[in-house]
């Protein structure tokens, strides 16, 4: 073959040097060429038959074709929010499977025009293409054109190596002929258009449209279709992101081929060839909207299905509200000034860095238990650790609603009076933040002012184990220590724990198991897991009147207590601050009649803040900003008053009924009767103080 090529090149060179032959001479040249080609083909055929018999290639095992025949297309697993918006995807290689009927016909024509114009006519091997490639090779003396069909390319990519050897070409041809007897042309083309690599990590035309242009394939225009069709020949050489000039030249070749094949008109060709190409910047979808939530969804899906989710073509439908999530994202992203001020309160830090400050937040629909928004940290690129689900931090006084809920259930009334006095339980010595001692106070007042010693005294009297039991019934799943410090939030738990507990109180005392996934299907819509078919745990934690009385006290936190900078929120919201020693952890949890939200602010390294810092300045402002936006999407009103509740004015210190007092909720028939307190007499005489002052 090489000798023939050299001979023909000399003949053609002679013709160029000597000018045109006379007709008689030209005919002799043509006959000579045809004779030489025929002789070469016969010789090659004989040699081929001998070689096939000796090497056994004719006995090629066709069972290998099952790899292609039974091929299941890889496909990204997609994650959707509650309204069907795509918010994430799981893949190792980027696949986006499209059945043949959903691939734009114009794209199919483009690929056929440049890769295999006679695809629907041949039986796996295009002999016309082979002869055309052979003559081109004879003219140049090298393999300048390939004669591989699309079927051969599929065989090569799935079963053979890319090396250019005679043996591989024979195997490729024989397997292609066999493959076409097993699969339809449409199926072979479907595999080809979905499985081959097309640059930027994309496999298949659907994935290439997303990766190169940031569009779905049905949104592509002709000039963009031509570029993608041109990538099949060499996705690395024609990668538009790395070699835009080469990609442009290849695109023009495809457009020319489409014109020649009749796929497009002259006018369409001219218009498309002049269109500029604009390529999309690669943005990881999983890090765009709710990255920590997406990570949690992957982990939960693998647990539910007991299998990997990447590239499995799953469709995972979640509870996330994308709009609300973006609102929460905006609040955190635009709170740099707030975090800078927070960083300046770090104790002993001469050069405060706002990047040291971290936050986490959850918003839940308390009636359905659905997580609507999640902030796992300020910057996912800096840290993928999910502080909303996995970080265990001490809640401080944010734990007190659990203590008081147990007390109300056991018959304690808000009007009951305690003496704020120094307290020692074993080696535990709780202190009040303002150093307040030796005064009378109702439990209602002690709660909204967040006094520590009354809560510890009360919890100790109730029994720490009973308080822990109440925490578990309300939804806390972290292990709590059986020690007095737990009564003031000394045991570490997660933002999810606190959100569940507060949501139970907001849901009239009924615990609803939190959920993040509603349904999982395969790409064809077959349901693999459905929340409706799995009973959601719902349990009565406390009676509705008890929960309502707790909510009323948490509303008083906005009226008179540690959140009183926002008194207008008392009309429709309830909540509680939580600050640990040295303000290392700062919490605010609160609820409206439709949503429960919890925010935590602190540092990963557990740094201390100075004395002026606390939940009311660190966490509460973020909670307010997030919930202000949330209320626009989920309007809220007053909490529903359950039957059996009576609200009367009570003196906040001495617990007797007083028209000048604060409104406190009671079980009907349990309201204070006296209109004068024995404690007020003691206070007026100062008798016990005289005794203590001795």
Q: Is 669 a member of any domain?
A: no
Question: 9: exposed, middle or buried (C-beta count within 10 Å: 0-12, 13-18, 19+)?
Answer: middle
Strand order in the sheet with 517-521: 86-90, 77-80, 315-318, 517-521, 527-530
Is the same domain home to 49 and 172?
A: no
pLDDT at site 6:
57
Query: Domain boundary residue among 220, 243, 274?
Result: 274
- Is there a single domain that holds both residue 260 and residue 165? yes
Answer whether 657's CB lies under 8 Å from 674's CB.
Answer: yes
Number of H helices and E strands in the chain, helices first, is 25, 18
Q: Decide if 675 is inside a domain.
A: no
43 shares a domain with 164? no
CATH number for the domain spanning 193: value is 1.10.3810.10
The predicted pLDDT at position 126 comes to 83
* Phi, psi (rounded to 5 degrees) for 629: -70, -40
Q: Which structural domain range is residue 16 located in?
A: 2-59
Q: How many CB atoms lie within 10 A of CB 245?
A: 9
CA distance to 150, 361, 487, per residue, from 109 (Å): 13, 51, 72
**The pLDDT of residue 691:** 38
Which pLDDT tens digit goes with each residue over 544-561? 999 999 999 999 999 999
**98 and 219 inside one domain:** yes
172 and 102 belong to one structural domain: yes
In a domain, 652, yes or no: no
Instruction: Find the catalytic residue in 115, 172, 440, 510.
Output: 115
Could you give the CA distance from residue 266 to residue 260 in angstroms, rounded to a whole number?
9
Classify residue 525: in a domain, yes or no.
Answer: no
654 to 211, 316, 419, 676: CA distances (angstroms): 70, 56, 10, 9
> How confident is the model at residue 461, as a pLDDT?
94
Q: Are both 186 and 112 inside the same structural domain?
A: yes
Query: Catalytic residue at 17?
Result: no
Domain count, the chain: 2
Residue 206 sits at φ, ψ, to 5 deg, of: -65, -45
Tell me which of 77, 148, 176, 397 is the catalytic residue: 397
The answer as to whether 608 is a domain residue is no
Residues 186 and 265 in one domain: yes
Strand intervals (E) in 473-565 = 510-512, 517-521, 527-530, 538-540
Domain-located, residue 517: no
Has this prediction a pTM greater than 0.85?
no
Cβ proximity of 383 and 409 under 8 Å: no
What Rg value do the Cα atoms of the chain yield, rounded?
Answer: 38
Q: Annotated catalytic, 15?
A: no
Regarding whether 102 and 187 lie in a shared domain, the answer is yes
Beta bridge partners of 595: 365
* SS3 state at 101: helix
Q: How many CB atoms lie under 10 A from the CB of residue 596? A: 28
Report, as ranges of residue numbers, the positions in the chain whose pLDDT lies below 50: 21, 49-51, 57-59, 140-145, 687-694
Token look-up 């005794």 returns: 691
Last-in-domain residue among 14, 42, 59? 59
Classify residue 387: in a domain, yes or no. no
Query: Within this chain, do residues 120 and 267 fall inside the same structural domain, yes or no?
Result: yes
- Tokens representing 225 are 């279709």
Say yes or no: 137 and 266 in one domain: yes
In a domain, 121, yes or no: yes
If asked whether residues 143 and 211 sit together in one domain, one would say yes
**Are residue 6 and residue 112 in the same domain, yes or no?**
no
């Amino acid at each position: 073959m090489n000798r023939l090529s050299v001979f023909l090149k000399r003949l053609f060179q002679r013709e160029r040097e000597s000018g045109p032959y006379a007709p008689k001479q030209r005919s002799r040249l043509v006959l000579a060429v045809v004779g030489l080609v025929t002789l070469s083909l016969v010789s090659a055929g004989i040699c081929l038959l001998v070689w096939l018999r000796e090497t056994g290639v004719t006995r090629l095992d066709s069972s290998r074709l099952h790899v292609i025949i039974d091929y299941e297309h890889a496909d990204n697993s997609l994650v959707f929010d509650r309204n069907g918006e795509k918010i994430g995807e799981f893949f190792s290689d980027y696949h986006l499977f499209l059945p043949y009927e959903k691939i734009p016909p114009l794209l199919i024509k483009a690929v056929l025009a440049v890769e295999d114009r006679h695809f629907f006519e041949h039986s796996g091997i295009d002999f016309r293409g082979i002869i055309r490639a052979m003559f081109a090779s004879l003219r140049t003396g090298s393999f300048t054109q390939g004669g591989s069909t699309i079927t051969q390319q599929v065989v090569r990519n799935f079963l053979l190596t890319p090396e250019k050897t005679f043996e591989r070409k024979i195997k490729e041809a024989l397997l292609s002929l066999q493959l076409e007897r097993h699969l339809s042309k449409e199926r072979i083309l479907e595999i080809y258009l979905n499985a081959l690599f097309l640059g930027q990590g994309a496999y298949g035309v659907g994935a290439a449209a997303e990766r190169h242009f940031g569009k779905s394939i049905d949104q592509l225009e002709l000039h963009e279709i031509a570029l993608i069709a041109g990538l099949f020949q060499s996705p690395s050489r024609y990668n538009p992101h790395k070699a835009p000039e080469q990609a442009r030249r290849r695109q023009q070749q495809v457009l020319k081929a489409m014109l020649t094949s009749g796929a497009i008109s002259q006018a369409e060709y001219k218009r498309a060839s002049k269109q500029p190409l604009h390529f999309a910047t690669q943005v990881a979808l999983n890090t765009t909207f709710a990255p920590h939530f997406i990570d949690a969804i992957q982990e939960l899906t693998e647990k539910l299905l007991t299998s990997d989710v990447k590239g499995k073509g799953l469709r995972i439908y979640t509870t996330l509200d994308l709009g609300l999530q973006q609102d929460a994202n905006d609040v955190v992203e635009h709170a740099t000034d707030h975090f800078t001020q927070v960083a300046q309160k770090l104790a002993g830090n001469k050069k405060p860095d706002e990047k040291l400050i971290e936050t986490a937040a959850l918003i839940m629909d308390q009636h359905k238990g659905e997580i609507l928004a999640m902030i796992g940290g300020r910057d996912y690129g800096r840290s993928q650790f999910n502080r909303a689900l996995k970080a265990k931090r001490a809640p401080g006084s944010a734990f007190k609603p659990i203590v008081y809920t147990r007390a109300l259930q056991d018959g304690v009334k808000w009007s009951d009076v305690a003496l704020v006095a120094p307290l020692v339980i074993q080696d535990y010595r709780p202190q009040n933040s303002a150093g307040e001692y030796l005064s009378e106070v109702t439990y209602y007042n002690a709660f909204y002012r967040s006094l520590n010693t009354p809560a510890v005294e009360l919890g100790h009297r109730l029994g720490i184990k009973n308080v822990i039991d109440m925490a578990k019934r309300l939804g806390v799943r972290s292990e709590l220590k059986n020690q007095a410090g737990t009564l003031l939030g000394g045991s570490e738990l997660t933002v999810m724990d606190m959100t569940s507990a507060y949501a139970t109180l907001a849901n009239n005392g009924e615990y609803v198991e939190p959920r993040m996934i509603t349904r999982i299907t395969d790409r064809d819509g077959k349901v693999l897991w459905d929340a409706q078919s799995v009973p959601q745990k719902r349990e009565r934690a406390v009676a509705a009147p008890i929960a309502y009385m707790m909510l009323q006290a948490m509303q008083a936190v906005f009226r008179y207590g540690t959140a009183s900078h926002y008194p207008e929120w008392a009309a429709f919201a309830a909540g509680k601050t939580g600050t640990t020693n040295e303000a290392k952890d700062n919490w605010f949890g609160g609820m409206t009649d439709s949503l429960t939200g919890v925010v935590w602010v602190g540092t990963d390294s557990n740094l201390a803040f100075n004395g002026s810092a606390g939940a009311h300045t660190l966490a509460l402002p973020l909670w307010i900003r997030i919930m202000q936006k949330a209320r626009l999407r989920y309007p809220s009103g007053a909490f529903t008053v359950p039957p059996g509740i009576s609200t009367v004015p009570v003196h906040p210190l001495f617990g007797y009924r007083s028209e000048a007092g604060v409104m406190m909720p009671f079980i009907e028939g349990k309201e204070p009767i006296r209109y004068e307190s024995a404690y007020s007499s003691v206070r007026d005489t100062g008798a016990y103080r005289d005794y203590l002052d001795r």
